[in-house]
């Protein structure tokens, strides 16, 4: 009797997890590095100012290993999380520094989107890659020859899409996403403190996660298409 669950293609799963791991490690290590530079040594003390995935996996094995693998098996794509600790006393004393620390993670994801796009364009320039006939999460670029080029094309496609997802999701101005912690950059010190106290309410965090999950697709789909059109100007993807 069939369980109704399609077993993953193992090479695809490896490529998905590699791109996922690179993306969340870059995001969290950027938070940790920014916090260190801005005066908070909490994440540095746990060894998280690094692109080595091991400390990040050790801190969040469920969110960074179990959830992404299960989401791929059951859904065909990966979701998950990691985390970076910080001193709440430091954040309370320096809300603008804490806001810059929050911004560092999404900026790291933006950097990986740009890097993936540049590698895709270079590959197309040398006829190593080609634009796909139809775009998808793991089909932003394709390779005519199969084999290693095909695997690299899929890896870059996933890296491009996952980091765009992380960038957009984390910039949503809803707690507990990073976007909600960036607002103090444009507030006075006293207003920033009041705002931080407001958004740290746990019930607001649950509401923010619910709204983000419910409406993210409507926000992300047009932005994903816009990014593809910037990557391939004039090709008319829709």
Task: Give, for all 238 residues of the chain, the pLDDT tens digit.
Answer: 344 444 457 888 999 999 999 999 999 999 999 999 999 999 999 999 999 999 999 999 999 999 999 999 888 888 899 999 999 999 989 999 999 999 999 999 999 999 999 999 999 999 999 999 988 888 999 998 778 999 999 999 999 999 999 999 999 988 888 988 888 888 888 888 888 888 777 777 788 888 888 888 888 989 999 999 999 998 887 7
Total residue count of the chain as it appears in this document = 238
Domain boundary assignment for the chain:
10-231
- Count of Cβ atoms closer than 10 Å to residue 102 Cβ: 26
Tokens of 203: 């019930």
Q: What is the rounded end-to-end Cα distance, in angstroms, of the chain?
A: 40
Distances from the Cα of 169 to the Cα of 58, 216, 221, angstroms: 24, 7, 12
Angle between helices 10-37 and 147-171 (to 10 degrees): 40
pLDDT at 11: 85
Contact status, residue 184 vs residue 98, Cβ threshold 8 Å: yes
- Count of Cβ atoms closer than 10 Å to residue 154 Cβ: 21
Q: Which residues of 17-43 are buried (b: 16+ CB within 10 A; e: fewer)?
A: bebbbbbbbbbbbbbbbbbbebebebb
Q: 3-state SS of the chain: helix, strand, coil percent to 5? A: 70, 0, 30
pLDDT at 123: 96
Tokens of 168: 């957009």
What pTM was estimated for this model as a whole? Answer: 0.91
């Amino acid at each position: 009797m069939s369980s109704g669950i399609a077993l993953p293609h193992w090479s695809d799963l490896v490529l998905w997890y590699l791109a996922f791991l690179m993306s969340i490690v870059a995001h969290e290590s950027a938070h940790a590095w920014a916090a260190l530079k801005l005066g908070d040594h909490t994440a540095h003390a746990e060894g998280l100012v690094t692109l080595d995935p091991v400390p990040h996996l050790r801190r969040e094995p469920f969110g960074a290993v179990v959830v992404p693998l299960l989401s791929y098996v059951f859904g065909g794509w990966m979701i998950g999380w990691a985390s970076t600790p910080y001193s709440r006393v430091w954040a309370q004393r320096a809300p603008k520094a804490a806001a810059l620390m929050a911004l560092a993670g999404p900026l790291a994801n933006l950097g990986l989107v740009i890097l993936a796009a540049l590698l895709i364009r270079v590959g197309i320039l040398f006829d190593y890659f080609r634009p796909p006939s139809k775009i998808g999460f793991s089909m932003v670029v394709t390779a005519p020859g199969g084999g290693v080029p095909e695997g690299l094309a899929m890896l870059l496609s996933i890296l491009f899409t996952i980091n765009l997802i992380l960038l957009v999701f984390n910039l949503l101005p809803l707690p507990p996403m990073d976007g909600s912690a960036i607002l103090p950059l444009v507030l006075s010190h006293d207003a920033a403190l009041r705002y931080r106290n407001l958004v740290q309410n746990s019930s607001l965090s649950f509401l923010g996660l619910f709204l983000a999950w419910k409406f993210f697709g409507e926000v992300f789909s047009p932005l994903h298409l816009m990014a593809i059109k910037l990557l391939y100007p004039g090709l008319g993807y829709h």
